[in-house]
Homo-oligomer: A and B are copies of this chain.
Amino acid sequence: MTERQLHLNAFLMGVGHHEAAWRHPRTDPKALDDVAHFQNLAQIAERGTFDSVFLADGVQIWGDVRHTAAGRFEPLTLLTALSQVTDHIGLIATASTGFSEPYNLARLFSSLDHISGGRAGWNIVTTAQDRSAQNFNREKNTEHGERYQRADEFLDVVTALWDSWEDDALIVDQDSGVFADETKVHEIGHKGRFFSVRGPLNAVRSPQGHPLLVQAGSSEDGKAFAARWAEAVFTAQQTHEEAVAFYRDLKGRVVAAGRSTDSLKVLPGIVPVLGGTEREAAALADELTSLIIPERAVRQLTDMIGVDLTGHPLDAPLPELPPVTDINGAKSRFELVRDLAVRERLTLRQLLGRLGGGRGHQVVAGTPEQIADHIELWFRSGAADGFNVMAPLLPSGLEEFVDHVVPLLRARGLFRTEYTGRTLRDHYGLARPVSRYAVG
């Protein structure tokens, strides 16, 4: 199998990605409290030979408490529970470089990688919101560029800690009592602007060497960071044209950074609203939009783009927005929302409907054939290496995708019919990093 293959990640979110998913008769809000629900989702995705599942996260309350489905589970612990009922699928969790210590995060991801036999991935976020900073001793968050500088140094430290035990450091000779070759266990001696970390990590090197590094920021700083560190990028792209431009830009930066073009996989988000016919799919999309509560959606949009839109008339166009240079939040998401509203001349209410399905990710309503066509087009035309699949309703939307779209992708030779590797890196076709201390 030398032909280029598609990669699929199942982005798991409660009972669905649509913001009103929990209100739809096809979901059961009780599932939000049930580990078995999430285990079932991972097993469905594994049945579909997805590369990975992904759990997003934050360190604050989001949106409007009254109307938002509240969570219970923290991703690293929940993924550990999912690892116990699956054998192959990768397990990716968001964690923030802004509000953790590198030693602690290195340890948690190493542990998940050990427990899962090499299936851990880390979606690296810097966390934009002041509201998050207020849970960590600060009134305001730090500035966008500064957050990425901290993230860069954070990654230097974490990857050094993951390397601090060489792969062959263990000897384990019961007779002599020698457990490890101490010359292959390294202090990292990091002293930088943000962190001083002596090391080594108190855990031996994990199956993947480094858990997979995933990233999602698409600002200038975010793309520069991705070019250095990311091995998979989740991105929100509303049009094919923008997606191609983003893909080219990012791959160019990866090559400029001295990496191979294949060492980073680009996965735009897609919200597949599936129906047996186009009409059924459109009806489901309308039904979901009708369940949106505008007051809640405005709060979420305000959190997302960092501009307060509460109180703005729903049926008027958006107000004049500040220049992106004034935005200290998620800059790329701000631009995406602004461009969408301007391009399609949307009122606030219309914009909320467009964003309700995937918070800025592309919503594609149609039959399984139409969804497969869309995926194939983007994959073959340099817009994507794969997709971040965000089912609007869970588990039903993921089941339909696995049962009706995946077989089409397989029949077209685009997607694996069975797993050929054991680790998350294997699935994405990415090399296992050699410890920096083992070189030379």
> Which residues of A are interface residues toward B (Cβ below 8 A)?
20, 22-25, 29, 33, 35, 58-62, 64-74, 76-78, 80-81, 83-85, 99-101, 103-104, 107-108, 110-112, 114-115, 131, 134-138, 165, 170, 172, 174-175, 177-182, 185, 195-200, 202-204, 206, 291, 293, 296
Contacts A114-B33, A131-B198, A198-B131 given; does A74 touch B138 at CB 8 Å: no
Instruction: Considering the complex, give the chain B residue whose CB is closest to the CB of A71.
Output: B203
Give the one of A78, A80, A206 with max B CB within 10 A.
A80
* B101 and A136 contacting across the interface, CB-CB below 8 Å: yes
A356 to chain B, nearest CB (A): 12
A192 to chain B, nearest CB (A): 10
Contacts A22-B174, A99-B103, A174-B22 given; does A110 touch B196 at CB 8 Å: no
- Name A74's contact: one of B24, B33, B197, B203 (CB within 8 Å): B203
Which 3 A-B pairs give the minimum distances between C-beta atoms?
Answer: A74-B111, A134-B198, A80-B80
A380 to chain B, nearest CB (A): 39
Q: Which residues on B sit within 8 Å (CB–CB) of A180?
A: 65-66, 68, 70
Distance of A165 Cα from B64 Cα, bound (Å): 14
Q: Which residues on B sit within 8 Å (CB–CB) of A25?
A: 174
Distance of A156 Cα from B230 Cα, bound (Å): 38
Contacts A76-B77, A84-B84 given; does A104 touch B115 at CB 8 Å: no
Distance of A309 Cα from B197 Cα, bound (Å): 26
A408 to chain B, nearest CB (A): 33
Instruction: Considering the complex, give the chain B residue whose CB is closest to the CB of A296.
Output: B177
- Name A177's contact: one of B108, B198, B293 (CB within 8 Å): B293
Q: Which residues on B sit within 8 Å (CB–CB) of A198?
A: 131, 134-135
Give the one of A66, A72, A107 with max B CB within 10 A.
A72
A159 to chain B, nearest CB (A): 15
Q: Which residues on B sit within 8 Å (CB–CB) of A138?
A: 196
A264 to chain B, nearest CB (A): 27
Instruction: Considering the complex, give the chain B residue whose CB is closest to the CB of A161.
Output: B135
Q: Which residues on B sit within 8 Å (CB–CB) of A70?
A: 165, 170, 179-180, 202-204
* A77 and B74 contacting across the interface, CB-CB below 8 Å: no
* A179 and B66 contacting across the interface, CB-CB below 8 Å: yes
Q: Which residues on B sit within 8 Å (CB–CB) of A67?
A: 177-179
Contacts A115-B78, A174-B23, A179-B70 given; does A60 touch B197 at CB 8 Å: no
